[in-house]
Chains A and B, each alone.
Chain A
Amino acid sequence: MKKTVIKALFKILYALGAVLILLMFWQLVVMFGGFNQALLPPPLYVFQTLGDMIKSGELLLHVQISLYRFFVGYSLAVAAGLTLGLIVGQIAFLSKLVDPLTQLLRPIAPVAWMPFIVLLFGIGDMPAIMIIFIAAFYPVLLSTISASKKIDKTYLRVARTFEIKQPQVFFKIILPAIFPYIANGMHLGLGTAWVFLVAGEMMGVRSGLGFLIMDSRNNMQPQVLLSTICVIAVLGLILDKIVSFFEFRINRHWGIQSE
């Protein structure tokens, strides 16, 4: 018990140390890099700006709208990826059809669809939501398909032993058995989708963290730009930690050894 506490403390210390090194490096570049300070503001000035943005309530509004778009897009992707993945995973010939399709479509950066999405859906929340949807969809879909293919045979044997028939086999055995792998796909999808949040908000909207980045560029406010980047990083970290926590609990529950 004591050992794990010390281990956790050290982990935090290392993380803080890493951030400190990064900030020092930033400060040094500002001091000796020869860049114009109006273009590359020092850390302290950026944090001051960040404080002002928080105080004025402006930042909160943008964060709220970004999170809203993110969760709508992500939830839709999880719902679609799960449903489709479970169906495809159960039917062999469908997975043979879907596999080449995903291989063809997946490498296309979600942002590449942007102009097309704007043409179809117009500007507003929709393009950002769609980009997040596309980014999160593939990881969820693919991990659900592969999980339903590699379900532990023991569980299917237990189902046969106790004469469990369909659809109960699906709901009582298959779905819970592959749940941890689905959770892992949802985790991957979350990370990917967060990366594309900013891209999704760079065009066609007047709010959100991505808009804030574009807006500060247009107004020549690098301190706002860097503040926003900090916010995106911290929010991404928090989201990831929340999902990791649930994933850890699920894996422990299912008896899956991690790390």
Chain B
Amino acid sequence: MFIEIEGVSKQFLHDKIPILALQNINLSVEKGEFICFLGPSGCGKTTLLNMMAGYDKPTTGEIRISGSIVNAPSLKRVTVFQGYDLLPWRTARKNIELGLESLKLSKSERKTVVSEYLDMVGLTDFANHFPYEMSGGMRQRVSIARALATNPEVIFMDEPFSALDLITRLSIQKSILNLWRENKKTIVFVSHIIEEAILLANRIVIFSPYPGRIVRIIDVPPNAKKGDNMPEYKKIKDEIHHVCEISL
């Protein structure tokens, strides 16, 4: 297995009172999977993602990626954050270049890579624009391009579309899906929107809160992604609804 999560719990102290954010999480992810963590707020899905990305450590249990325990962020596993995380003093091009600066690449190599990813997210014409000159959707695309440019093995996304309007959201979802099909990266995606999870993921991990735990893991058949009039789509949506109702 590529990513292994074994018996992971996470406890926080809130006003000196311990709160169990996650309880006994076990999950395996294969290389090239598109996993979605689905659940209401407070179910610990972001907490788990943060630990997988190395920003935080589990209270008990272990998270291993490619066989080694995760204990710090790495260029091999890049996170696209909630909201905007571009550096406002850098242009789109320079923002995408940020991660590449930590790699041993020549200037011209960096330039080639940046241009390639600018093109991939359709922002070649906006290469020299600063974040304040771009729309929310464009910024989010730059952020995704920045994550992809370092060629990571895993991409973590924490509700990266939450600040976008519906139309922009749909178009970025489509480009993410294309990117995943073309590059076969492992993607772990956090969402609280059922439709989004079905559209993007090949497996949906449903969380329930207090304490955060996994209640069901559902495989998404390819046919379900073809549209909301497909019987597979309806079936899976009903199943998720059902799971959510009984677990809350």
Contact = CB atoms under 8 A, between A and B. Distances in A.
B42 interface: no
Given A157-B55, A162-B99, A164-B102, A254 B75 contact: no
B73 interface: yes
A179 interface: yes
Interface in A8-32: none
Nearest to B86: A158
Interface in B29-72: 53, 55, 72
B85 A163 contact: no
B88 A254 contact: yes
B157 to A, nearest CB: 13
A160 B73 contact: yes
Nearest to B75: A163
Contacts of A168: 101
A157 B81 contact: yes
A253 B134 CA distance: 11
B85 A179 contact: no
Interface string A175-202: 0110100000000000000000000000
A255 B131 contact: yes
A154 B83 CA distance: 10
A69 B224 CA distance: 75
Interface in B78-126: 78-79, 81, 83, 85, 87-89, 98-99, 101-102
B186 interface: no
- Determine the interface band of chain B, counting residues with CB < 8 A from chain A: 20 to 34
A253 B89 contact: yes
Given A157-B81, A253-B130, A163 B87 contact: no
Q: Which of A157, A162, A254 has the largest number of chain B CB atoms within 10 A?
A: A162
Nearest to B77: A161
Interface of A is mostly: helix
B55 A158 contact: no
A88 B132 CA distance: 31
Contacts of A254: 88-89, 132
Given A176-B89, A253-B88, A161 B73 contact: yes
Contact of B85 (A157, A164, A165): A157
Contacts of A252: 132
A173 interface: yes
A161 B88 contact: no
A148 to B, nearest CB: 16
Contacts of A45: none
A79 B131 CA distance: 29
Nearest to B143: A158
Contacts of A113: none
B130 A163 contact: no
A161 B87 contact: no
B132 A161 contact: no
A35 interface: no
A116 interface: no
A158 B244 CA distance: 34
Best-buried of B55, B75, B88 by chain A (most CB within 10 Å): B88
A246 interface: no
Contacts of B28: none
B74 interface: yes
Contacts of B99: 161-162
A161 B146 CA distance: 11
B98 to A, nearest CB: 6
B208 interface: no
A155 interface: yes
Contacts of B191: none
Contact of B132 (A163, A165, A179, A253): A253
Contacts of B132: 252-255
Interface string A140-161: 0000000000000011011011
A137 to B, nearest CB: 26
A160 B89 contact: no
Interface of A: 154-155, 157-158, 160-165, 168, 172-173, 176-177, 179, 252-255
Given A158-B85, A172-B101, A255-B88, 12 more contacts: A157-B81, A158-B87, A158-B98, A160-B55, A162-B150, A163-B73, A163-B75, A164-B101, A164-B102, A168-B101, A176-B87, A253-B89
3 shortest interchain CB distances as A-B pairs = A162-B99, A176-B89, A255-B88
14 contacts: A158-B87, A161-B78, A161-B79, A161-B99, A162-B98, A162-B99, A162-B150, A163-B73, A164-B102, A177-B89, A253-B88, A253-B89, A254-B88, A255-B88
Interface of B: 53, 55, 72-75, 78-79, 81, 83, 85, 87-89, 98-99, 101-102, 130-132, 150
